[in-house]
Structure 1
Amino acid sequence: MTKIVAVYRTAYPLPSEAFIPSQLLGLKRYQPLVWCRDFHGSDNPQIKVKSVFADKPASVWRKVLFTFFGIAGFKDDVQLVHAHFGPDAAMILPLVKRSNLPLVVTFHGFDAQQSRWSMLKSKTISNWLFLLREKMIYRYASRIIAVSAYLRECLIRRGCPPDKLIVHYIGVDTARFKVDSAARIPKRLVNVSRHVDWKGIDTILRALPQLIVQYPDLVLVQIGSGPDTRRLQQLAVELGVSEHVHWRGALPHEQVLAELRQASVYVHAARTDEKGQTEAFGIALIEAQACGVPVVATRSGGIPEAMLENHTGLLFEENDHAALAAQLDSLLSDGARLDFLAHNAREFVVSRFDINVQSAKLENIYDEIGS
């Protein structure tokens, strides 16, 4: 009999979290059932989604009862629950405990990196709940998954028991992310990042002026949106590079894929912000490399785990736009080296991060819990 795993995400699906449905579709021996509080509509009929309110109206009162006490309007026959992100685990914990179900929690980044003081100041109810129930999560959960070895160390420093921690990379669908040499456009850089400080988009913009002198046809395609959009666009104007930057905004995953296939280099400049947050792993780097695109990225957080330095891409230090420009120049001026890294990039992802292989490993974790 196929076992059912309830995958909890408070808001589902989100455009920036395509890795969650990708992981679900990779499961073979477990049938995923997504539980969510706020359903944003899904066009994927292969994934069954259920509101925690069942068929009842999601009134303010019902949301309050569920958010704080885990009181839901349904009962499903599931074997275990897998919550994505620490605050989501805190929200579903009362329901899981009452149902005496095993719990797996995946931490993805901010939930393990941001200081408790930063979370407290965020004035976000889900963060406050997480702070209140964090130690209970560590005690109750059967397994805590970190998306990188870097994040595992962050969780240990927060007090998570090391014996419950496991590093598991989500991976990507290497059948969808393919090399398309005919689509490749020379001197085309792509970056996929939300417009927030720790993504370091300004570092990329500051690297452009000296590159454009040598490569007048250079273009940066920036995919994303956020609170810093206006500031970043104004910076591009001040630097005199606005005509070389194409701001695409937030795009559906299929369109992101199309942009990656056209890139000659993927660039990523994440850095550690004042809250302690940086890139926990960098799934966009994996997606780019799966398309045969070499990467140039900061030596920050879990990024070095998502690539092989000098084999699939190059690294530079946080905030060093001059070093970024030098690394990009070394690739753009050497077609043979660029091709070498591009070939290695695809093979690296296929061998280490194929979604079917990684999802099978996740099912082994489920098996250990259920045994």
Structure 2
Amino acid sequence: MSTPRLQRAVYVVSLFPCWSETFIVREINALIENGVDVRIVSLKRPSEALVQADAATLMDRVRHPRSLARALAGLAAASFRRPAAVLGSLGAILADTWRTPAVCVKSLAAWLRGLEHVRWLREFDPQIIHAHWATYPSTAAWTLGRVLDRPFGFTCHAHDIFVERQLIARKIEDAALAVTISRFNVGWLSARETPLAGSKLKIVHCGVDMAVNHWNADGRTPHSILTVGRLDPIKGFATLIRALGLLRRRGLDFRCRLLGSGPLDAELRRLAREQDVDDRIEFAGAQPQDVVRRWMGEAGLFVLPSEVAEDGNRDGIPVALMEAMATGCPVISTRVSGIPELVEHDATGLLVDERQPEALADAMQRLLEDAELRRRVSHGARGKIEREFDARKEGLRLQQYMEAALDG
């Protein structure tokens, strides 16, 4: 393999390891496989009991916050070398966030935690500093790019666009590489934040590892429904439970397994009892990635009825949908955000409108009862993932954009 032009990169993330952000791990691994030495700055200390196996292998590349004294020492060193960059970034953050004190404090913490790492970053000498999420991680990466005089890039996804828009127009303008995960996001940001978004934003999908998401169109458990996601309003699990109640009243046999944890756990369990489906739903909690893949390989149907929350938050393109499609599990989702760019109705899955339990129940019944439809959409879905959502291909695409940014 020839030596890549991009040899050293730094990723800035909120928390590493983070069990729900497996797509970042896959992206980093793809770059490492392509010969790039990637180091990771985590703005928070490790806090999660569940650590995915592929994230564990990267831990020797991660720098976490250590102490306030070290952070202040990093600030002092950065201020001595690049006072204008430090003060300029501080002023821009304060000007953008002072009206929302909580966001202001968190942004300043991210700014300081990023500067904590200036000394070893100078020694590592990254060619690009890239962040995932357009909120606190990209604030830290943007600051480090200015202080170290290195190209800055970031990838924006969902809540960091639809709910928390922190300096996002400025970040798009200043970024050597601005990335997002869907055409929907490009249009949204172009209309609401800056016209530059249309010309600067590159689309790189959060892909799946085709080598571990094994195809299995046959031998699936009949009438089994699987769903995966944080128990959060944007996932639409309340709509799913109401739709399952309709299926039960129609006399359909099914079992549903719900993987995930979150703030709606008690509320969803109570709704399951009200809909008389608590004996048909297994609340399985958060699970390791190998368990998720195994259950995706067994399920007869995968359902994720995403919806727009009251505060405007919503999914981007859920990775769990991609993983299910890669395994050959027929999927149903909603016409929200970038999901129709992945799930094409009647071709790679079924789509319904959000918050419509009856339409969702109809779609589930249709797939559960129509073997030919399941076969057709599952084959279409696998082809879609292979063409557009393969993590290795998307990692190479990102690397090429990074190298073009270095040339620029």
Normalised by the length of structure 1, the TM-score is 0.89
- Contact 1:9 1:34 (8 Å CA) reproduced: yes
Structure 1 unmatched runs, 5+: 120-129
Identify the residue that residue 172 of structure 2 maps to in structure 1.
138
- Contact 2:157 2:181 (8 Å CA) reproduced: yes
Residue in structure 1 matching 2:156, options 86, 89, 107: 107
Alignment of 1:8-27 (within 5 A): 8-27=12-31
Q: Distance in 2 between matches of 1:48 and 1:139?
A: 33
Q: Distance in 1 between matches of 2:244 and 2:69?
A: 48
User: Post-superposition shift, 1:287?
Assistant: 0.6
Identify the residue that residue 366 of structure 1 maps to in structure 2.
402
Residue in structure 2 matching 1:149, options 183, 196, 206: 183
Q: Distance in 2 between matches of 1:42 and 1:331?
A: 32
Alignment of 1:1-371 (within 5 A): 3-27=7-31, 28-40=34-46, 43=53, 44-45=56-57, 48-51=60-63, 53=65, 57-59=66-68, 62=71, 67-69=110-112, 70-73=114-117, 74-75=120-121, 76-87=124-135, 88-114=137-163, 119=164, 131=166, 133-160=167-194, 161=196, 162-181=198-217, 184-214=220-250, 216-371=252-407
Change in 2 beyond 3 A, CA 1:86/1:60: farther
Where 2:355 maps in the other structure, the secondary structure is coil
Q: Distance in 1 between matches of 2:387 and 2:274?
A: 43
Q: Distance in 2 between matches of 1:112 and 1:255?
A: 31
Q: Distance in 1 between matches of 2:38 and 2:59?
A: 7
Change in 2 beyond 3 A, CA 1:49/1:215: farther
Identify the residue that residue 124 of structure 1 maps to in structure 2.
none
2:179 maps to amino acid: I
Q: Distance in 1 between matches of 2:61 and 2:145?
A: 18
User: Post-superposition shift, 1:59?
Assistant: 4.0
Change in 2 beyond 3 A, CA 1:103/1:183: farther
Where 2:257 maps in the other structure, the secondary structure is strand
Q: Distance in 1 between matches of 2:62 and 2:334?
A: 39
Q: Distance in 2 between matches of 1:334 and 1:182?
A: 14
User: Post-superposition shift, 1:187?
Assistant: 0.6
- Contact 1:179 1:292 (8 Å CA) reproduced: yes
Q: Distance in 2 between matches of 1:67 and 1:39?
A: 12
User: Post-superposition shift, 1:191?
Assistant: 0.9
Where 1:242 maps in the other structure, the secondary structure is coil
User: Post-superposition shift, 1:260?
Assistant: 0.9
User: Post-superposition shift, 1:297?
Assistant: 0.8
- Contact 2:19 2:52 (8 Å CA) reproduced: no
Q: Distance in 2 between matches of 1:213 and 1:33?
A: 54
Most deviating of 4-13 and 134-143: 134-143
What percent identity do the matched residue pairs reach? 25
Deviation string, structure 1 residues 238-273 (Cα, Å, up to 9, x no partner): 110000001011112111111111111111111111
Q: Distance in 1 between matches of 2:219 and 2:45?
A: 35
Q: Distance in 2 between matches of 1:60 and 1:201?
A: 44
- Contact 1:32 1:47 (8 Å CA) reproduced: no
Q: Distance in 1 between matches of 2:293 and 2:364?
A: 22
2:19 maps to amino acid: P
Identify the residue that residue 83 of structure 2 maps to in structure 1.
none
Identify the residue that residue 123 of structure 1 maps to in structure 2.
none
User: Post-superposition shift, 1:13?
Assistant: 1.5
Q: Distance in 2 between matches of 1:106 and 1:210?
A: 40
- Contact 1:313 1:341 (8 Å CA) reproduced: yes
1:31 maps to amino acid: D
User: Post-superposition shift, 1:42?
Assistant: 7.2
Q: Distance in 2 between matches of 1:60 and 1:256?
A: 41
User: Post-superposition shift, 1:67?
Assistant: 2.5
User: Post-superposition shift, 1:80?
Assistant: 0.3
Q: Distance in 1 between matches of 2:61 and 2:35?
A: 18
- Contact 1:90 1:134 (8 Å CA) reproduced: no
Deviation string, structure 1 residues 261-317 (Cα, Å, up to 9, x no partner): 111111111111122121211211111000001111111111101122101211111
Most deviating of 317-326 and 334-343: 334-343
Q: Distance in 2 between matches of 1:346 and 1:42?
A: 24
2:67 maps to amino acid: A
User: Post-superposition shift, 1:181?
Assistant: 4.8
1:331 maps to amino acid: L
Where 1:86 maps in the other structure, the secondary structure is coil
- Contact 2:227 2:303 (8 Å CA) reproduced: yes
1:49 maps to amino acid: R
1:267 maps to amino acid: V
- Contact 2:182 2:203 (8 Å CA) reproduced: yes
1:58 maps to amino acid: S
